[in-house]
Amino acid sequence: MYLDYYYFILIVPVLLLSLIAQGRVNSIYKRFSAVNNMRGLTGAAAAQAVLNFYGVHDVRIEHIHGHLSDHYDPRDNVIRLSDGVFGSCSVAAVGIACHEAGHAAQHAQGYVPIKLRNAFLTPARLGSQAGLPLAIIGIFLGSQFLINFGILLYVAVMLFQLLTLPVEFNASRRAIDVIEQQGMLSEQETADAGKVLRAAAMTYVASFAMSAANLLRLLLLASNRRRN
């Protein structure tokens, strides 16, 4: 009973927020992926321009298949750009490619928040898989150890996603700054690229809100168990 009550009060509203955020980023991406920039600059070329701006010369730019699967991989030191970004001249492609290059610049410059976030990567992966199940099993079995361990693991998930926010916002700021300084896009195109990046950033905000709601749910369930 308590599980369903807390789920509907805490999780469902945040889940709706996540769906709205995802729908918005898809809508805005679709809109501005159909608008080519006046300079005919491709996503790959834009990413390279950001790398050059920051003096990063050891990062490759590769094409991968997929939809919005763009990312920077620090293990292989490569920026991977998707079908709709790598060779595209759209405003959305330039914004996304520059954002990923911004992540590469963060790594090259030793940006502190990204180091802190990476420190939580392994615990966060474990917490996302086992945190909630362990805590809920502990609640039903009456095991305080399992409850505490599950909550501790899930705290790592929330901290990872909290630290992801400044990393993502900073990468977008770097992208827009270089776009403006290098004159890659017109003033209106730059504003539109910013809309794409802000919409994408809201999906990370929604993910953090979901983790916070899940953690609060666990704490309330555990508190209720102790009172009973």
Q: Averaged over 197-223, what is the pLDDT?
A: 90
User: What pLDDT, in 10s, does the model give residues 77-108?
Assistant: 999 999 999 999 999 999 999 999 999 999 99
pLDDT of residue 48: 98
User: What pLDDT, in 10s, does the model give residues 143-192?
Assistant: 889 988 999 999 999 999 999 999 999 999 999 999 999 999 999 999 99
- DSSP states of the chain: -HHHHHIIIIIHHHHHHHHHHHHHHHHHHHHHTTSB-TT---HHHHHHHHHHHTT--S-EEEE--SSS--EEETTTTEEEE-TTTSS--BHHHHHHHHHHHHHHHHHHTT-HHHHHHHHTHHHHHHHHHHHHHHHHHHHHHT-HHHHHHHHHHHHHHHHHHHHHHHHHHHHHHHHHHHHHHHT-S-HHHHHHHHHHHHHHHHHHHHHHHHHHHHHHHHHHHHHHHHH-
The pLDDT mean for the chain works out to 92
Give the residue numbers annotated as catalytic, written as ranges: 100
Q: Is the pLDDT of residue 4 over 70?
A: no
Confidence band of 59 (pLDDT split at 50, 70, 90): very high
Q: What is the pTM of this model?
A: 0.89
User: What pLDDT, in 10s, does the model give residues 115-152?
Assistant: 999 899 999 999 889 988 998 888 888 888 998 899 99
